Amino acid sequence: MHRTAVKKVVLEGVLDANEALAQANREKFDQAGNYVINLMSSPGAGKTALLERTLERVRGRLRLGVLEGDVQTTLDADRLARFHIPLVQVNTESGFGGECHLDANMVRSGLGELPLSDIDVLVIENVGNLVCPAEFRVGEDTRVMVYSVTEGEEKPLKYPLMFRSADLVLVNKIDLLEHLDFDLELFIANLEAVNPGVSRMLVSARTGRGVDEWCSWMERRKPT
Amino acid sequence: MHELSIAESVVQIASRHANGRRVTKVWLKVGHLRQVVPSALGFGFELVAEGTPVEGAELELENVPAAGLCSNCGAKSQLGNFPLKCGACGGFDLELLSGEELFVESLELEEV
């Protein structure tokens, strides 16, 4: 029998399925009254350290919850456990050796473990990676990126997808500036080139510099 | 490597629209600003298509250049590398017209 081919027009977005799940997460967050931050960075930029400093400060003022995303281990969640906050770890290792980002479905799988109605601000700490997390919405209100000065000035130009998608950039490890050749002005210029007018704060999770400003930023966004 | 997740999603979409038929070719539109690495996507596609109706299908990528409308001078221009700027006046305040596409455009299916 002779086989022939037929062309079928589809026009379906590759990320549509994820978007639909992100929207479902979004509705859950809205019902519970959560402001949701998708926290992204490369590995080792200081997301967890910054969260530790944050939790020390906002205790009693802001009910923070954290969803930790990592390929493997519960090391980050273990670090935050001492704060006795609503906390869940999602590991992405199923699949081909571990996904390099959280997607909406993975976040959904962790939400059952969190008492959402007891949370003002939910921080979703994404897997450390400068590309993939930017592509997958998880139902967040805002995207905050942690960038450390040890990563060099040129990364916004090399990884524009993520830098473009950030609403706020926390420039971390600012206490190391005097020991590095990092050119802060050049970095800001590169950041401006890919994301004109993006908000940024200079912080140090080690010394605590700028952390109050970041905490105030979060408190201002606490749903009323 | 977001290419693998993208490949998984493409294979799912193609399998669903195939209604049990074999898929022999997939046309995918990819905007320039998506930072998709074609070789990585092709490799991932082959891998995740195994054992599905899409196994062995050809993946054809169509790169969509980035274009923007300048809010300053109103010119439409093709955008190259970052910083994205208006080709006419050099302004940075642009409305993106294209370059962020990422969708399965069509499939070639084997007739039963």
pLDDT digits (tens, 9 = 90+) for A147-170: 999 999 999 998 988 999 999 999
Q: Which residue of B has its CA nearest to A1?
A: B112
Q: Which residue of B has its CA nearest to A155?
A: B82
Q: Are A205 and A50 in contact (CB under 8 A)?
A: yes
pLDDT digits (tens, 9 = 90+) for B2-11: 888 899 999 9
pLDDT digits (tens, 9 = 90+) for A109-134: 999 999 999 999 999 999 999 988 99
Residue B76 φ/ψ region, left for φ over 0, alpha for ψ in the -120 to 50 degree band, beta for the rest? beta
pLDDT bucket at A224, cuts 50 / 70 / 90: confident
Q: In the predicted model, what is the mean pLDDT of chain B?
A: 93
Residue B83 lies in a domain: no
Domain count, chain B: 1
Report the gap between the CA of A128 and the closest CA in chain B (Å): 12
Which residues of chain A make contact with B2, given a CB cutoff of 8 A? 100-101, 131-132, 135-136
Q: Mean pLDDT, to the nearest integer, of A89-97?
A: 74
In the predicted model, is pLDDT for residue B28 greater than 80? yes
Which residues of chain A make contact with B62, given a CB cutoff of 8 A? none
User: B54 at the A interface (CB within 8 A)?
Assistant: no
pLDDT at B81: 80
Q: With residue A200 as reference, give the H or E element that holds it.
A: strand A199-202
Residue B3 φ/ψ region, left for φ over 0, alpha for ψ in the -120 to 50 degree band, beta for the rest? alpha
User: A13 at the B interface (CB within 8 A)?
Assistant: yes
For residue B33, what are the CA distances in angstroms to A161, A213, A223? 7, 33, 34
**What distance separates the 2 farthest-apart alpha carbons in chain A?**
76
Residue B91 lies in a domain: no
Percentage of chain A exceeding pLDDT 90: 84
Which residues of chain B make contact with A191, given a CB cutoff of 8 A? none
In the predicted model, is pLDDT for residue A1 greater than 80? no
Q: Mean pLDDT, to the nearest integer, of A58-79?
A: 92
* Domains (range + CATH), chain A: 16-220 (3.40.50.300)
Residue B73 lies in a domain: no
pLDDT at A2: 59
Report the gap between the CA of A143 and the closest CA in chain B (Å): 18
- Looking at residue B44, which CATH number applies to its domain? 3.30.2320.50
Domain that includes residue B8, residue range: 2-65+99-109
ipTM of the complex: 0.87
> Alpha-carbon distance A34 to A65, whole Å?
9
Interface contact flag, A5 B104, Cβ < 8 Å: no
pLDDT digits (tens, 9 = 90+) for B49-101: 999 999 999 999 999 999 999 989 999 999 988 788 899 998 888 899 999 99
Residue B8 lies in a domain: yes
Residue B31 lies in a domain: yes
Structure tokens belonging to residue A131: 């590309």
pLDDT at B35: 86
User: B47 at the A interface (CB within 8 A)?
Assistant: yes
pLDDT at A4: 81
What amino acid is encoded at A12 in this protein?
E
> Regarding beta strands B94-98 and B23-31, do their DSSP bridges make them parallel or antiparallel, or are they unpaired?
unpaired
pLDDT bucket at B112, cuts 50 / 70 / 90: confident
Q: What are the φ/ψ torsions at residue B13 (nearest 5 degrees)?
A: -60, -45
Contacts for A94 with CB less than 8 Å, ≥ 6 apart? none
**What distance separates the 2 farthest-apart alpha carbons in chain B?**
56
In the predicted model, is pLDDT for residue A94 greater than 80? no
In the predicted model, is pLDDT for residue A71 greater than 90? no
Pick the closest to residue A66 from A28, A113, A27, A3 (CA basis).
A113
> Alpha-carbon distance B109 to A126, whole Å?
38
Residue length of chain A:
224
Pick the closest to residue A126 from A14, A19, A45, A214 (CA basis).
A45
In the predicted model, is pLDDT for residue B33 greater than 60? yes
pLDDT bucket at A219, cuts 50 / 70 / 90: very high
> Alpha-carbon distance A127 to B34, whole Å?
19
